[in-house]
Structure 1
Amino acid sequence: MNFKHTGIALIVGGSSGMGLATAKQLAMNNLDVVIVGNNAEKLDRAVSEVQAVASGSAHVSGLQANLYKAADVQKIVDFIHQPSNQINYLVNAAGYFNPKAFVEHTASDYDIYMDLNKATFTLSQAVATNMIQNGGGNIVNIGSMWGKQAIKATPSSAYSMAKAGLHALTQHMAMELADSGIRVNAVSPAVVKTPIYESFIDPKEVDEALEGFNTFHPIGRVGTAQDIANTITFLLSDETSWVTGAIWDIDGGVMAGRN
């Protein structure tokens, strides 16, 4: 793929899952990658994995930060605003998911999702400012099918509200930033096998639990992190230079219909 910009690709939430798979693809395309992650051990491991597959002179580094801490968010903002750091690509991949009945949601449950959206908004704003100063760039947000359609088996009202908000933010950013040469898009996955499910399912049982969702998708299987990364990388590349404000369903056909 072609990437006309030569600046940094910042992957927020890139130490596992879809973010990590995307970081690898971008590094393989000879882009410098900075991975933001909370767990220091996972972050170090991710940086090593991505650097191992990087092409050419691509450099990979990590930035440890907890997006729920204002000081850590500011640390990332300060990094973005450093004159020597040209950010031309941003992937907002940080996520949290823990299904719970609507009437059982607490204020703290709600805040987990909305505070993450607040951090995403703040970091995207800082990156947009950097991109305006450096000739443009491309942004991809990871939304969710749950932001478009409710699934009774996985009650997730606050999560879905947050993802629907991220979809809306994608479109507004695309409109406002187009004149500055910045494209903003989102992907909307259905069930994808990533570590996000380990927050409420025993890691030893995740594979079996997700297999139950195979037939939920018309294609007949749940997605992989690689499936989503393929599209994110495509949206960041010059091959999609006439695409902005789009929210692409990468969902095995779920939004088209269910078996």
Structure 2
Amino acid sequence: MGLLEGRTAVVTGASSGIGLATARRFAAEGAHVFVTGRNQAELEAAVETIGDATGVAGDVADLDHLDRLYDAVRERGAGLDVVFANAGTAELLPLEQVTTEHLDRIFGVNVRGTLFTVQKALPQLNAGASVIVNSSVRARDGVEAFGVYAASKAALRSFTRTWANELKGRGIRVNAVSPGTIDTPAVAEMVGEDRAEEARAGFAAQVPLGRAGTGEEVADAVTFLASAQSSFVLGASIDVDGGENQL
């Protein structure tokens, strides 16, 4: 039997990168996975590779879209055992270039989207459910031009502790995963396709293991937090960073 046999899970931002790798791993471990993404065609292509999955297109910053997701979960009738609040966005801007639009865009997806992804899941979370929030090691290392993004991820680390305290009475565990430099399509989205390879090399040079991580390596940590193997882990954050913030 798989680690998540018979479980029902939600993974947001699952069209690519960490979300897609995690959805595939959850399905391989026996879960039925509800996955979201903003692009319908990309999401449908992702679902084809996941296995036992239901795709519900939408933007986590739009509460109506989240309602549509959880309506689909409710219709299945099995409640929810795992939520991986993964969807996020990133842009690099130094302080003097930050605009209200930039701030609203980053916090709208990363903070507002994550908060309401978890809040709207609450009525359907089964006893013993696991909620995992995707934070980042950037939340605490002060890398230039990551200011707004890092602050949004620091908010998620704080949410994790508070929600863990609030939900422990229901037997629900809340934890976070904090990736470091991971080779995903998000790198190109941050810096542009023309600078993506240079950026990847620069980021990887800072990692003690000498390379970027993979989405699958983050998915391993998320699956641990989603499963009974982490039954005594609460309010924690697991760094998946190749030693970047450790050494």
Q: TM-score range by the shorter chain?
A: over 0.9
User: 210-219 vs 76-85, which deviates more?
Assistant: 76-85
Q: 1:204 Cα shift? A: 6.0
Say whether 1:151 aligns with 2:151: no
**Conserved in 1, the CA contact under 8 Å of 2:92 and 2:191?**
no
The match for 2:61 among 62, 68, 74 is 68
The match for 1:101 among 87, 94, 106 is 94
**1:122-159 CA distances to partner (integer Å, 9 max, x unpaired)?**
1201212211xx3230111110111111112xx11111
**Conserved in 2, the CA contact under 8 Å of 1:174 and 1:245?**
yes
**Conserved in 2, the CA contact under 8 Å of 1:194 and 1:224?**
yes
Say whether 1:125 aligns with 2:119: yes
Q: Tell me, what secondary structure is at the counterpart of 1:13?
A: coil
Q: Tell me, what secondary structure is at the counterpart of 1:88?
A: strand
Q: Distance in 1 between matches of 2:73 and 2:158?
A: 24
User: TM-score, normalised on structure 1?
Assistant: 0.88
Partner of 1:54: none
Q: 1:205 Cα shift? A: 4.9
Q: Distance in 2 between matches of 1:39 and 1:118?
A: 20
**Structure 2 gaps, min length 5:** none
Partner of 2:158: 168
Say whether 1:233 aligns with 2:211: no
Q: Tell me, what secondary structure is at the counterpart of 1:175?
A: helix
**1:41-73 CA distances to partner (integer Å, 9 max, x unpaired)?**
11001100111xxxxxxx211000022333223
**1:193-216 CA distances to partner (integer Å, 9 max, x unpaired)?**
111122243436523430222220
Q: Tell me, what secondary structure is at the counterpart of 2:163?
A: helix
Partner of 1:135: 127
Partner of 2:85: 92
Say whether 1:180 aligns with 2:174: no
Amino acid in structure 2 at the alignment position of 1:118: R
Partner of 1:36: 36
Shift in alpha-carbon separation, 1:121–1:178, aligned structure 2, 3 A:
same
Partner of 1:13: 13
Q: 1:4 Cα shift? A: 6.5
Q: Tell me, what secondary structure is at the counterpart of 1:61?
A: strand
Partner of 2:204: 214
Partner of 1:79: 72
Q: Distance in 2 between matches of 1:14 and 1:161?
A: 23
Shift in alpha-carbon separation, 1:3–1:127, aligned structure 2, 3 A:
farther
Q: 1:174 Cα shift? A: 0.8
**1:144-190 CA distances to partner (integer Å, 9 max, x unpaired)?**
111111112xx111111110000010111111111211111111111
Q: 1:231 Cα shift? A: 0.6
User: TM-score, normalised on structure 2?
Assistant: 0.93
**Conserved in 2, the CA contact under 8 Å of 1:145 and 1:249?**
yes
**Conserved in 1, the CA contact under 8 Å of 2:2 and 2:28?**
no
Q: 1:5 Cα shift? A: 7.1
Q: Distance in 1 between matches of 2:170 and 2:5?
A: 14
Q: Tell me, what secondary structure is at the counterpart of 1:136?
A: strand
**Conserved in 2, the CA contact under 8 Å of 1:11 and 1:23?**
yes
Q: Distance in 2 between matches of 1:220 and 1:190?
A: 12
